[in-house]
Structure 1
Amino acid sequence: MIRLHLHLLSDSTGETLENIAKAGLAQFENVETIKHFWPMVRSVGHLDRIMLEIAQRPGLVIFTLVNNEVRRRLETRCHALGLPIVSALDPVIEALSRLLGQEAIARPGRQHSLDAAYFARVDAIQYTIAHDDGIAAEDWEEADIVLAGVSRSSKTPTSIYLANRGYKVANIPLVVESPPPQSLFTLVHPVVVGLTTSPERLIQIRRNRLLSLNQTPETAYVDQEAVARELAFARRMFSDQGWPVIDVTRRSIEETAAAIINLVNEKSGGAGGGV
């Protein structure tokens, strides 16, 4: 097991750096990463205090700093300490600058400005939370996406992930004994997507859920025949309505969401949705 100190310095919240670091680390195994977050670094004095901490825990330094004085100071100090240092956004900004024929605007935290897209994302999250698990069917036409599937088929976590991408999402559990509202079958604006999974995987997830709630793991909820009937009921509905279906058995939430976003873009003629 390799132990790595990772120092993330940003003149804003550090959210961009965190995502970049997470994506990079996912490509390596047997690494124990200790992340040190240093947000809102906008002065040399602040940086000097941070460098005292970094010197005690040397490791890789990744940064997004637009202030040239602070940036040069960081680079000089890291080189003096023999620390590897990476500017996370430089290659992207330089490529865009060449293609667009413009100089980048050096403004700290510009990518996180409270613009219309930010408020649209907040609105999407609020809508999605308010329309979880079949709630408020009268508002489903306002959704961008409606997810349908049996219990524990990843509807809620996928909905929340999509909401953070700026999509209004409603989701509804499909229950054999309780058909969904008829309004589900007459929606025009939203893309309705069916989520399905393998019976074995679904039973495992449901059994773990019951155990986490200190409930008996031997009920109709996890009975193999009952689960098979539920999934068959859902698949027939998806087929009858002509809804696209995504099998989440071997997909992560991110992969499922990406497939759904592609469906939304296809419906809108290739225009990107969300934020």
Structure 2
Amino acid sequence: MSQPIVYVISDSVGETAEFVVRAVASQFNGGRVEIRRVGYVDDQEQIKEVVQAAKETNAVVAFTLVLPEMRDYLMDYAVMNGVVAVDILGPMIDAFSKVNNQTPKNRPGLVHQLDDEYFRRVEAIEFAVKYDDGKDPRGLLRADVVLIGVSRTSKTPLSMFLAHKRFKAANVPLVPEVEPPEELFEINPRKVIGLTISPDELNLIRTERLKALGLGSQANYAQHERIKLELDYAEKIMSKIGCPVINVSNKAVEETASIIMDVIKRGGRG
């Protein structure tokens, strides 16, 4: 027994229609079906050619066309030629329109634009995790933005927030005893954002951090002298790079991230 043939017509890639066809085919004949996908259809002549081919091979036409005039033309032409055609998107678009009392955008390919955004976000999140806390300085050369600052200036949460906005963010801690990676001075300084904070606030944050770890607040990490040393060192590095500097004192991560994104859009000019 020969396999059924289904022509898939789409004004985009055609993956949605193919998925539906394969799901249906799984209910018949062991799921065997020959799918002939015709994507990016944007004129009536293409529709005619596919419908004629379907007529000659006794095939079904499944289609996902968002433009109403194209859907109507295909259905009319299929009926005229005795070809079975199935509109996969149309009924759902009409239902959404009626229930929500809204007019659809009628723009082909939007679902794949959403997919692209999703994958860019995932890629950015993976990037932020991989190049967090200066783990691999090679990532600095590929980053959209590099955050630098002393410990507890929200570098990691900011990197993750920016990643969800599809920015590839890396971050590097500045510690007086550790030389910054060479890559930090090789990249465009406009891609680098320095994060600073008031000594008093940093003292409170670090003291709370030590408590959470079950350590005493007298540790050098939270001492004012140590904090001043680190902040002075970080300021020298930021001045050497010539990057914009943001004071994160009393700022929520969302607020600081908004400032960073504005700086990025202005090409690094703070």
Give structure 1 regions of 4+ aligned residues with deviation exceeding 6 angstroms.
Answer: 110-113
Q: Secondary structure at the match of 2:195?
A: strand
Structure-to-structure mapping, 1:126-145, within 5 angstroms:
126-145=126-145
Q: Secondary structure at the match of 1:146?
A: strand
TM score, norm. by length of structure 2: 0.59
Deviations 1:27-59 (A, max 9, x none): xxxxxxxxxxxxxxxxxxxxxxxxxxxxxxxxx
Matched, 1:67 2:96: yes
CA distance in 1, matches of 2:146, 2:128: 10
**Cα drift, residue 113 of structure 1:** 6.5
Alignment RMSD = 2.7
Partner of residue 104, structure 1: 105
Partner of residue 48, structure 2: none
CA distance in 2, matches of 1:112, 1:231: 46
Relative to 1, partners in 2 of residues 1:125 and 1:190: Cα closer, same or farther, differing over 3 Å? farther
Q: Is the 8 A contact 1:67 1:106 kept in 2?
A: no
Q: Is the 8 A contact 2:134 2:170 kept in 1?
A: yes
**Cα drift, residue 230 of structure 1:** 0.6
Relative to 1, partners in 2 of residues 1:116 and 1:190: Cα closer, same or farther, differing over 3 Å? farther
CA distance in 2, matches of 1:67, 1:106: 15
Q: Is the 8 A contact 1:142 1:189 kept in 2?
A: no
Structure-to-structure mapping, 1:162-177, within 5 angstroms:
162-177=162-177
CA distance in 1, matches of 2:231, 2:112: 42
TM score, norm. by length of structure 1: 0.58
Structure-to-structure mapping, 1:213-228, within 5 angstroms:
213-228=213-228
Partner of residue 30, structure 2: none
What percent of counterpart residues are identical? 39
Partner of residue 186, structure 1: 186
Structure 1, unaligned runs of 5 or more: 1-65, 73-89, 94-102, 270-275
**Cα drift, residue 182 of structure 1:** 1.5
Partner of residue 146, structure 1: 146
Matched, 1:212 2:212: yes
Deviations 1:160-190 (A, max 9, x none): 0000000001001100111211111111397
Q: Is the 8 A contact 1:159 1:171 kept in 2?
A: yes
Relative to 1, partners in 2 of residues 1:268 and 1:183: Cα closer, same or farther, differing over 3 Å? closer
Partner of residue 240, structure 1: 240
Q: Is the 8 A contact 1:141 1:190 kept in 2?
A: no
**Cα drift, residue 153 of structure 1:** 0.6
Structure 2, unaligned runs of 5 or more: 1-94
Q: Secondary structure at the match of 1:214?
A: coil
Deviations 1:90-112 (A, max 9, x none): 7xx8xxxxxxxxx53499xx789
Q: Is the 8 A contact 2:190 2:244 kept in 1?
A: no
In structure 2, what residue type is equivalent to 1:175? V
